[in-house]
C-alpha cells in the first residue's frame, strides 16, 4: 500500500486525536455502568484506525465522546492539538463542525436534498464558504460525478455511503469518525467504501477512526484498537483478517486483559 509522501496540511498538528484518562459512566449509584474506564489513546495525523471489541465494550461511547457528540465525565480530548472538552453546548457544536466529519452506518443523508446539496450541507451549517467546485471534484472522485442531482432514494446503499464520504471530505475535517460504515452494505460495495477511506488517509492525509465488528473491514486500517470492558486492551499494527479474528476470539483471556494500555 502506497503511503502518503507529502507533508501534513499546513498548520495541522502531527497528532490528530488524543484522549487522556477519558471516563464515561452511564446511570448513577447502583445501576451505574462504566462505559469507558480511563482510556488514553493517541492517533497521528494521516492514520486509519479501526476500533473493535465485544458488544458493550465501549466502542460507540468512545466514538461519541471522541467526536464531541457526548461528553466524558472525566478526562481530556484533544483534536488536532486543541482541547475539545469543556465549554458550552454551542461551543462544542462549533468545534465539531470545524474539525470533525462523520460517516454513519445508515448514511444520514437528508432525503429531500440531492447529492450535491447533501455534500455541501455541513459547510453551510458551519457557516463556512461553500466551494462547489471542490464538492463536485470530490463527488467525481468517489464515482458520483454523474449523479449530482439524484436524491438519496434514487441511489444504492453503496452510492449513498459514497455521498456520506464526499460530505465528510469536503469539510476537510481533522478527524473522520466512521461508525460501522460498511455494516449495511454488500461485500463489493463495502470494499469500495473501505478503499475510499484508505485513499482519504493515504493520498489525502485525512485521519480516520472506524468502529467495526468486521475483521475484514478492520484489515483495511493501519492499526486496530481493541476494547474490552471500557478499556483499551490492545493495539495491532498492520492488521490481517486472521490475526484480528484471532485476537477478538481471545479478547477476554487473561493474557490480553494484561496487555499494555496504549
For binding to ligand ADP (CB under 6 A), which residues are involved?
Answer: 26-27, 33, 35, 53, 55-61
Return the closest-CA partner of residue 201 out of 43, 94, 11. Answer: 43
Judged by beta carbon, residue 40 or residue 98, the one nearer ligand ADP is 40
Judged by beta carbon, residue 115 or residue 228, the one nearer ligand ADP is 228
CB of 148: closest distance to ligand ADP in angstroms? 35
CB of 53: closest distance to ligand ADP in angstroms? 5
Judged by beta carbon, residue 27 or residue 146, the one nearer ligand ADP is 27
Judged by beta carbon, residue 73 or residue 82, the one nearer ligand ADP is 73
CB of 51: closest distance to ligand ADP in angstroms? 8
What CA–CA distance (Å, rounded) separates 100 from 85? Answer: 14
What CA–CA distance (Å, rounded) separates 34 from 231? Answer: 10
Judged by beta carbon, residue 13 or residue 23, the one nearer ligand ADP is 23
- Count the neighbouring beta carbons within 10 Å of the beta carbon of residue 31: 7
> Any idea what the Cα angle at residue 18 is, between residues 17 and 23, rounded to 5°?
125
CB of 60: closest distance to ligand ADP in angstroms? 3
What CA–CA distance (Å, rounded) separates 129 from 23? Answer: 36
CB of 155: closest distance to ligand ADP in angstroms? 28
What CA–CA distance (Å, rounded) separates 100 from 107? Answer: 16
Q: State the DSSP string of 180-203.
A: STTTTS-HHHHHHHHHHHHHHHHT
Instruction: For residue 147, give the C-alpha cell.
Output: 449523479
Amino acid at each position: 500500500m502506497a503511503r502518503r509522501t507529502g507533508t501534513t496540511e499546513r498548520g495541522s498538528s502531527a497528532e490528530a486525536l488524543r484522549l487522556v484518562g477519558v471516563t464515561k459512566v452511564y446511570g448513577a449509584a447502583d445501576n451505574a455502568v462504566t462505559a469507558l474506564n480511563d482510556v488514553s489513546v493517541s492517533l497521528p495525523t494521516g492514520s486509519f484506525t479501526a476500533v473493535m471489541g465485544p458488544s458493550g465494550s465501549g466502542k460507540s461511547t468512545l466514538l461519541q465522546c471522541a467526536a464531541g457528540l457526548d461528553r466524558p465525565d472525566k478526562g481530556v480530548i484533544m483534536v488536532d492539538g486543541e482541547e475539545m472538552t469543556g465549554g458550552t453546548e454551542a461551543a462544542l457544536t462549533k468545534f465539531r463542525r470545524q474539525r470533525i466529519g462523520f460517516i454513519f452506518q445508515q448514511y444520514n443523508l437528508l432525503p429531500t436534498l440531492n447529492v450535491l446539496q447533501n455534500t455541501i450541507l455541513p459547510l453551510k451549517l458551519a457557516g463556512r464558504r461553500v466551494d462547489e467546485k471542490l464538492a463536485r471534484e470530490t463527488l467525481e472522485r468517489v464515482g458520483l460525478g454523474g449523479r449530482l442531482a439524484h436524491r438519496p432514494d434514487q441511489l444504492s446503499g453503496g452510492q449513498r455511503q459514497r455521498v456520506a464520504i464526499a460530505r465528510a471530505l469536503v469539510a476537510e475535517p481533522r478527524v473522520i469518525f466512521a461508525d460501522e460504515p460498511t455494516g449495511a452494505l454488500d461485500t463489493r460495495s463495502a470494499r469500495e467504501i473501505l478503499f475510499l477511506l484508505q485513499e482519504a488517509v493515504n493520498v489525502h492525509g485525512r485521519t480516520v477512526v472506524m468502529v467495526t465488528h468486521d475483521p475484514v473491514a478492520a484489515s483495511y486500517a493501519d492499526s486496530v484498537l481493541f476494547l474490552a470492558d471500557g478499556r483499551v486492551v490492545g493495539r495491532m499494527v498492520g492488521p490481517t483478517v486472521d490475526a484480528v479474528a484471532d485476537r477478538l476470539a481471545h479478547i477476554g483471556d487473561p493474557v490480553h486483559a494484561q496487555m499494555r494500555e496504549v
